[in-house]
Chain A
Amino acid sequence: MANLQDLTEAVIKGDEDKIKLTILELLNAGTPAKEIMDDGLIAGMNIVGGKMETEEMFIPEVLMSAKAMSAGVEILKPQLTDEENAASGTMILGTVQGDLHDIGKNLVKMLMEGAGFSVIDLGTDVPPAAFVDAIKEHNADIVAMSALLTTTMPKMKETMEAMENAGIRDQVKVLVGGAPVTENYADEIGADGYGYDAGSAVRIAKEYMTN
């Protein structure tokens, strides 16, 4: 008989088949979908996150777990109420205008998706207005901006101003990151948070969703 512990371990191993099978067994046995999600999948991903921060697990392994977990979430989704589904959150993500660095941003995207967020990726060289439009269109919870150049960091501020002007600043949490960005800079431009790597980005985004 499958239990939640098996599911957690399958997430850590990134074993997609095992995850799907275990979820079906658990659902058949009458385990509530919400419990499978929280105490099986998310619990597993939390352990993966921890192992990533202590450098026990490498990024490709983490991504494998994240991908496997997403496959599990797909099965669970129809079983969850709208309210339960919404809890995971929608994130708008992009590298700011003038900046083409996207490796860090892509890592953030993949880990966010692994953590159950739905991520709208606007790509690189994203003008402030495009962020604003996307927030409106997708009714986003979080906006995440990446910048790798001191010359493009000011675009983060401009994007904040554009959100302000469009009257949507208070609807979203703003998260910033990238090598030259600092906690101080995030404070200075009035962003809600700063993440020094993709793992911390996930941690902070999750905090926003639980509060």
Chain B
Amino acid sequence: MTTICSNQQALNSPLAKKLSEDQCRKLYWACLEILERTGVQLFEQEAVDLLKKAGAHISDGNRVRIPAGLVEKAFATAPKKITLCDRNGKRVIQAGGHQSYFGTGSDCLNILDHRTGERRQAVLKDIEEGMKLCDALEHIDFVMSMFLPSDVPQETLDRYEMEAMLNYTTKPIIYVTTEFSGCMDAVKMAEIVAGGPDALAQNPVAACYINVTTGLRHNKEALQKLLYLSEKGLPFTYIPSAQGGVTAPITIASTMAVNNAGVLAGLVISQLKREGAPFIMPGWGGNMLDMRTTIQPYADPEKRGQAIDFAHFLGIPTFGLAGCSESKLVDEQAAAEAALTLFTDAIFGGNFVHDVGYLESGLCGSLPQLAICNEILSWLDAFMKGIEISDETLCLDLIDEIGPEGQYLDCRHTLDHFRERWYPNLFDRSSYDGWQAKGGKSLGERAVEDVDRILQEHKPEPLPKDIAKAVHKVTEDAESKI
């Protein structure tokens, strides 16, 4: 488990910020102004009704203008910290503040097959292997499905994804479902594993990833999921995708204002449905469309940092995005973009940081790339720790005892402490000859071997047979309905 947390010791561990408190306030007021003046369109009647009852202004049936006071009230009940448990109910993730956790992304259509080097459509087996790998990788704290299975009925692919995640790892899950019915089925499966609805609400093993059309246009499925999960007290993300230059103005400030107006609208609806509903907001701000290639870039430097600052200002946990790349290969670009993005999210203090291992702007995934990200996270885990400056760590007596001419290699103190220092696993520190003697392999080649070894050796704890069967029944039932 990663213990990455920026700002953990006063003035003694790394911390980065882009926005000042006053800038955050100005941005927040812009969001409030958009909500009051322009308003949002909600394609779900219950959400409109809830807001109407609370005092919002409704026009044209579903155009809702939300007074600032309702937003302020929502902050009073929205949790500042969100817990996720592993499959055995252990409360392994306490996300909020500057505490960072890292996990994969979901639904890559393609995989760069590490056995053949070929890019091909992903299948269910790839998810199973991906989850097995995640289960073994020390610095992957939660999982998303990684791949989209092309070899199962597409109407129920989200059920297969959830089942594979529950079966092949004990780590906490963030699931994505195409429609509302899939969301209810994912909850059903999680309830079976946790031991019922109450047990799940108390010790949630899974959170839902909800996407919203844009900041100002909220689609029906997104709102249905939000209302359902809020009522059950289960955690979810609420991620509108305003895209600068397309569905919002191109400037970062304005894209963020439009997007976060939508986030705050969602927050208000969730707290009206049930006070205390665990709500997670986006940890990136100012999405753009690459105006040369029409790709939505994931590793864009300019969208990083400020949204985490803003969320800290509001006191709402974030869903970060890092460890991803635009590259088509596991190459130098992939390693650089993964490292830089993980570094920024760690140092700013994003909370649930997802999309680790993504290639090709979210359309392709690779197991060796994920193993490389795990190594980068191990490096960051060491980097982010504060340094203790105390009598014990300064050990002036020892310095005096050894004197100018001595050495420390065979000191007890060295033996006691040398293992505290960080050592790489995949990154190579051999001498040239030593590296050649080990086969003279590149990082990519070593990562492939690591993945092969883990897939062969690691045995994730299986779900009890009867539970696995009950979970599978949910998929079967969904299938029989189509």
Please state if B247 and A103 are interface contacts (CB–CB under 8 Å): yes
Chain-B contact segment, one of A55-63, A78-86, A186-194: A55-63
Chain-B contact segment, one of A134-142, A147-155, A160-168: A147-155
Closest to A56 in B: B292
Name the B residues within 8 Å of A180 (CB-CB): 109
What is the CA–CA distance of A106 and B219 in the complex, to the nearest angstrom?
Answer: 18
Binary CB contact string for chain B from 140 to 152 against chain A (1 if under 8 A, 0 otherwise): 0000000010100
Please state if A104 and B294 are interface contacts (CB–CB under 8 Å): yes
B291 interfacial by beta-carbon distance below 8 Å? yes
Please state if A55 and B246 are interface contacts (CB–CB under 8 Å): no
Please state if B291 and A59 are interface contacts (CB–CB under 8 Å): yes
Q: How far is the CB of A182 from chain B (nearest CB, A)?
A: 9
Q: How far is the CB of B270 from chain A (nearest CB, A)?
A: 21
**Interface bracket on A:** 10 to 19
Name the B residues within 8 Å of A69 (CB-CB): none
The total of interchain contacts (Cβ-Cβ below 8 angstroms) comes to 38
Name the A residues within 8 Å of B109 (CB-CB): 150, 179-180
A172 interfacial by beta-carbon distance below 8 Å? no
- Find residues 185-211 in chain A having any chain B CB closer than 8 Å to their own CB: 197-198
Binary CB contact string for chain A from 100 to 132 against chain B (1 if under 8 A, 0 otherwise): 100110110000000000000000000000000
What is the CA–CA distance of A180 and B364 in the complex, to the nearest angstrom?
Answer: 11
Which of B154, B219, B289, B294 has the most C-beta atoms of chain A within 10 angstroms of its own C-beta? B294
What is the CA–CA distance of A118 and B336 in the complex, to the nearest angstrom?
Answer: 45
Please state if B157 and A58 are interface contacts (CB–CB under 8 Å): no
What is the CA–CA distance of A180 and B178 in the complex, to the nearest angstrom?
Answer: 15
Q: Known interface pairs A150-B109, A150-B148, A179-B363. Does A107 touch B294 (Cβ–Cβ under 8 Å)?
A: yes
Name the B residues within 8 Å of A198 (CB-CB): 294
Please state if A100 and B246 are interface contacts (CB–CB under 8 Å): no
**Interface bracket on B:** 20 to 34
What is the CA–CA distance of A194 and B328 in the complex, to the nearest angstrom?
Answer: 21
What is the CA–CA distance of A49 and B244 in the complex, to the nearest angstrom?
Answer: 23
- Which one, B155, B219, B289, B293, contacts A103 given CB within 8 A? B289
Q: How far is the CB of A139 from chain B (nearest CB, A)?
A: 30
Name the B residues within 8 Å of A149 (CB-CB): 178
Please state if A60 and B294 are interface contacts (CB–CB under 8 Å): no
Q: How far is the CB of B449 from chain A (nearest CB, A)?
A: 32
Which of B148, B291, B293 has the most C-beta atoms of chain A within 10 angstroms of its own C-beta? B291
Q: How far is the CB of A141 from chain B (nearest CB, A)?
A: 25
Q: Known interface pairs A103-B246, A106-B246. Does A59 touch B292 (Cβ–Cβ under 8 Å)?
A: yes
Q: How far is the CB of B300 from chain A (nearest CB, A)?
A: 15
Please state if B289 and A59 are interface contacts (CB–CB under 8 Å): yes
Closest to A108 in B: B294
Q: Known interface pairs A100-B219, A107-B294. Does A151 touch B289 (Cβ–Cβ under 8 Å)?
A: no
Please state if A197 and B294 are interface contacts (CB–CB under 8 Å): yes
Please state if B291 and A100 are interface contacts (CB–CB under 8 Å): no
Please state if A58 and B150 are interface contacts (CB–CB under 8 Å): no
Name the B residues within 8 Å of A154 (CB-CB): 154
Closest to B150 in A: A150
Q: Known interface pairs A100-B213, A150-B109, A179-B109. Does A58 touch B154 (Cβ–Cβ under 8 Å)?
A: no
B297 interfacial by beta-carbon distance below 8 Å? no
Please state if A58 and B292 are interface contacts (CB–CB under 8 Å): yes
Q: How far is the CB of A106 from chain B (nearest CB, A)?
A: 7
What is the CA–CA distance of A103 and B291 in the complex, to the nearest angstrom?
Answer: 12
11 residue pairs of the A-B complex, CB under 8 angstroms, read A59-B294, A100-B219, A103-B296, A104-B294, A150-B109, A150-B154, A151-B154, A151-B155, A153-B154, A179-B109, A179-B363
* A-B interface, 10 closest residue pairs, ranked by CB to CB distance from nearest: A58-B291, A59-B291, A55-B292, A151-B154, A151-B178, A150-B154, A180-B109, A103-B246, A58-B292, A100-B213
Known: A59-B291, A104-B294. 11 other contacts (CB 8 A): A55-B293, A60-B245, A100-B213, A103-B243, A103-B246, A103-B247, A106-B246, A107-B294, A151-B178, A179-B109, A179-B363
